[in-house]
Structure 1
């Protein structure tokens, strides 16, 4: 009876040894046997089995043994070679306590195609965890050393005086900008020609130019653009000399807005000015051909505008008569 029990135990021991039936081999390994506290080490379980065998590794949780922690579960790695395969299951482990640790064997199950299964045990592995060596003599408390005096580098100079340098540059730039602006203003003022008042009243000049334009009969000769260009200039010059409206260098829209904002003309004359200038713009820039009635009407409007808004000149004798009355 004792001999039978001994035979059974011997069979079980042989079945769970490192090298088992049908050529399966299992192993536990570390990529290093010594580590510093907090370092990372790879621990792996592996099995070398026939290609048709299936391997079941034990589930490992967050610790291998006390004070050895699993911090990362890595994917399986399989290598095939000549009818066999090596299945490897790696983990990343660490420890925060110094000492020597034994990682005991793990059981790995191997199943074969003939429904036969072996349970194999890995070898134990050992890991030493060490701390940093502190040299007490080298780290003894000593007097504070005086600062080493070194030449001031350009970078240190910038760090030290950047604010002051920036402030000086800003003030100089501001002074230069103001100087440049005033010089530019002076040049612009010098470049602008002073307007000289004509020797004749504005309405006299305007009526004479209108007579000359009418005598040329430009629109009757199909010179529409030239006709309206001259008509527009006559009206603009009259507005500028008579009412000080900046009409020669501005657009029709600007002139209309200026006349309306400053209430320079009554409603009827305002409409006449708008009609003349807008018709001139269409003829000059939009290739519009006004009808003969349009040409006659705008000429009449120009005459009416000048006559109705001309400056009333009071003779000295009339002034004396008014004062005596």
Structure 2
């Protein structure tokens, strides 16, 4: 199925599909959070409501108690959460830094201030709720006091025993190390990242599968580079067929023939022939023993004729020009490298 707004580039398509998958995943995560969050308890027309609560009903001396201040508000109601100084928690002590969380719902919002407290005395205590100043949806400034909370702290010691009897009780053995509570939020984010990675991987696999469908052109392997002698013999045949000698274009004929010879020597023997004068070229060839004596003679005779035509404006006979072409062709044919096992089956054009 073709989608008209998709880009043509394969990389751009992959990026677009990954972004769409990530957006879908975050949308699912947001919907799941909304469905899992309990609805507001606000009554119709009520701007603000708050309460203090604890996670459990039974509390002992020395045990941590999770205390939560929960504030629900209607849309367009503005207020600030109280700080620790506004909360009168005595005789409870705050043990950990407070955690503030915010939940957005369709008909308002909920803010949660979580505190971990601990008590060192037993008995029943009343924690007064803080007073909040807020501005309602009509811009009127009002105040609201959170209802107080009754907390009962019990002792782990036996009841109805005198102090002398309690002092005679043996101490319990020391407990071992206690592990930290699990951090489910990190596990949730890890699950989201794993799901996102799986989605991106699936999208990339799908895109690759569709782009590799039958009917698409498969990339052709690069053609093997032509050998130096094959290039030279082909260019010599083309120069011979150009009929430059009949039109007496000797200068262009020798220019092309000289370029063919120099490029062949340069690629075949790795000599910078195109950058040398004829004299430097011949001296370098003689010093390196790259060519045999008879091949050096063919090259010397050709370069002498070529320099006369190009620089001395000499006009040779057509037969002399054809002889120079045959000299270069003979030089190429007799200096063809030995064929390797891989190229032994490939015929060399123009070489017997």
**Shorter-chain TM-score category?**
0.3 to 0.5
Q: Which has the larger radius of gyration?
A: 1
TM-score scaled by length of structure 2: 0.33
TM-score scaled by length of structure 1: 0.36
